[in-house]
Structure 1
Amino acid sequence: MSEKYIELVSYLKGLKRVLVAFSGGVDSTFLLKAAKDALGDNAAAVTVNSPYIPSWEIEEAKEFTEKMGIKHDFIKVGIIDEIKNNPSDRCYLCKKALFSMIKEKAINEGFDYVIDGTNLDDIKDYRPGIKALNELKIVSPLLECKITKSDVREMSKDLNLLTWNKPAGACLLTRIPFDTRLEIDDINRIEKAEKYLRDKGIAAVRVRSHGDLARIEIDPTIRDQLFNTDFLDEISRKLKEYGFKYVTIDAAGYKMGSLNS
């Protein structure tokens, strides 16, 4: 086992009893595994189930905790009033509201800390949600132990976690431009479109929604997979079935946070 993992497990042991904010992504899966190794049944998971979290993420989260024998609860929420128009500080407002709910649950159930999977690389990116975590005193063990995203993937592979090479994920609201009214139908068609493309073998994909127009971003290294007229026709047909009027491919490929600009 790597020294960094041993250090992380040691750090987690000092937290005594923790509730892990668990999305089912690369970082939170790795953190939950480490918390289980460090604390056994004194580590539990909670997942937010909302319209803007892809359903496959919820299912994968369930499967992992069932396999690991970890106590796992869900907090079901809708689109909170503060973010219904997708303001530029949406991530901060959303994190503040959701983690307040998680923290209340933790207090009521006797947990010492709420922990999340923020890693060292996250503080180099535009992540307004981190401000909310700091205000609520949420603990980020990966950040505290100076663990990067590449560290997480490398150690996840050593631990035989299926998420070691899982593409980076983000809530579906990141596909919608700021200052746009959030509608459940729009979110649903984005989820359907991305699931369709994932099922076609395009794992790293974002379907950005600009009104009636879908802008597909995929990993730049696999853009040639789309250079097939029959496949392009099928993509166009399927996404129009989901409710888009126009379907486009972003020539530059996927870029994390492309709507932040």
Structure 2
Amino acid sequence: MIDKKLDALRERLRQLESVVVCYSGGLDSGFTLAVAHEQLGHHAVGLTAAGPALAPRERDDAIAFARQIGADHEMVDAGEIGVADYVANGPDRCFHCKSALYVAAERYRQQRGFRHVINGTNLDDLGDYRPGLEAAKRANIVSPLVDVGFTKSEVREAARLLGLRLWDKPAAACLASRIPYGTAVTSKRLSQIAGFEAELRDLGFRVVRVRHHDTIARIEVGEDELAAMADPTTRQRVHDAGKRYGFSYVTLDLGAYRVGSHNEVLDGRRLRTVT
């Protein structure tokens, strides 16, 4: 089954002839870049938006993976931090961020003579509230994983089959997704989140989100990692790290990590109001 889908993906990418891959360094876009490079060689390039919402560790890993597979790779500043609607951080923040990325990618495509801009969206991404999908639609971005019917689990399986080291990499949404809707996205807040999350990973936590609530850090870790937070030494080190990054209170979300937890405050696509 997975072999047939891989063959279909390879054929789809050959049909596109030359592509700019919007590449964050995560599993989906990394897998897409790897197969595009396999099929198209120098007619495929990964393009990474290296703004403040990309954690330094993720940026470095994106560079290292592209180098490992031999793919062409470029970094650009999409300038989203200068977009007022992105900074305002409404429920449509992702639309404005992705729109800035796709403008930069389209500019790059035209300058370098590539035929298409593509992304790593898979079928499972079509479920949760993701305004970035609308940005992709408006920008005529091609989603080859969707075209041939890849789910997230199938992307992992195929990446493992190809021997790609990121096959089991946890999801890593941009840092702005850690800031509640209505709280401005600033370089300072993004830096706080990036630094604190890096220290938590150094402590051995694989699935980590630091949700920024002004003076409060609400930490989400994988359900199987919750118990590790109860260790007195670990708890103290986590607390001290949070203080170093400017948080007055460091809390643990007992609900554990879940995709889009900030979306839980939405009523449809709007913020819930209390009367």
Superposition deviation, residue 36 in structure 1 = 1.1
- Measured in 2, the distance between the counterparts of 1:222 and 1:187 equals 24
Deviations 1:60-91 (A, max 9, x none): 11112222222211112441322112111100
Q: Distance in 2 between matches of 1:126 and 1:149?
A: 16
The answer to whether structure 1 residue 70 and structure 2 residue 71 are counterparts is yes
Task: State how far apart, in whole Å, the 2-side matches of 1:67 and 1:252 are.
Answer: 37
Q: Distance in 1 between matches of 2:99 and 2:240?
A: 39
Kindly tell me the number of residue pairs found equivalent between the two proteins. 261
- Rounded Cα–Cα distance in structure 2 between residues aligned with 1:183 and 1:94: 13
Q: What secondary structure is seen at the aligned counterpart in 1 of 2:262?
A: coil
The corresponding residue for 2:212 is: 209
SS at match of 1:65: helix
Q: State the Cα deviation string for residues 214-245 of structure 1 (Å, max 9, x = none).
A: 00000112211111122111111111011101
1:260 match: secondary structure: helix
SS at match of 1:236: helix
| Matches of 1:52 and 1:63, distance apart in 2 | 19
Offset, 1:203: 1.0
Distance in 1 (alpha carbons) for counterparts of 2:181 and 2:82: 16
Please report the TM-score for the alignment, with normalisation by the length of structure 1.
Answer: 0.97
Q: Percentage identity across aligned positions?
A: 39
Unaligned runs of 5+ in 2: 265-275
Distance (whole Å) between structure 1 residues aligned to residue 169 and residue 235 of structure 2: 25
SS at match of 1:84: helix
Q: Any conservation in 1 of the 2:88–2:183 contact (CA below 8 Å)?
A: yes
**Aligned with 2:227: secondary structure?**
helix
1:139-178 equivalence runs, <5 A: 139-178=142-181
Question: How do residues 188-199 of structure 1 correspond to structure 2 at under 5 angstroms?
Answer: 188-199=191-202
Where in structure 1 are there 5+ consecutive unaligned residues? none
Secondary structure of the corresponding residue to residue 88 of structure 2: coil
Q: Given residue 18 of structure 1, which amino acid in structure 2 is its aligned partner?
A: V
CA–CA distance in 2 between the matches of 1:56 and 1:214? 20
Structure 1 segment 1-261 matched on structure 2, within 5 A: 2-78=3-79, 79-81=81-83, 82-261=85-264
Q: Deviations over 1:18-37 (max 9, x none)?
A: 11111110001110111011
- Summarize deviations over 1:171-220 as a string: whole Å, max 9, x none: 00110011112222211111011001111110101000100000000011
Greater displacement, 16-25 / 229-238: 229-238
Amino acid at match of 2:50: N
Displacement of 1:12 in angstroms is 0.5
Quote the Cα distance in structure 2 between the aligned partners of 1:226 and 1:66.
35
Moved over 6 A (4+): none
Q: Which amino acid aligns with 2:127?
A: K
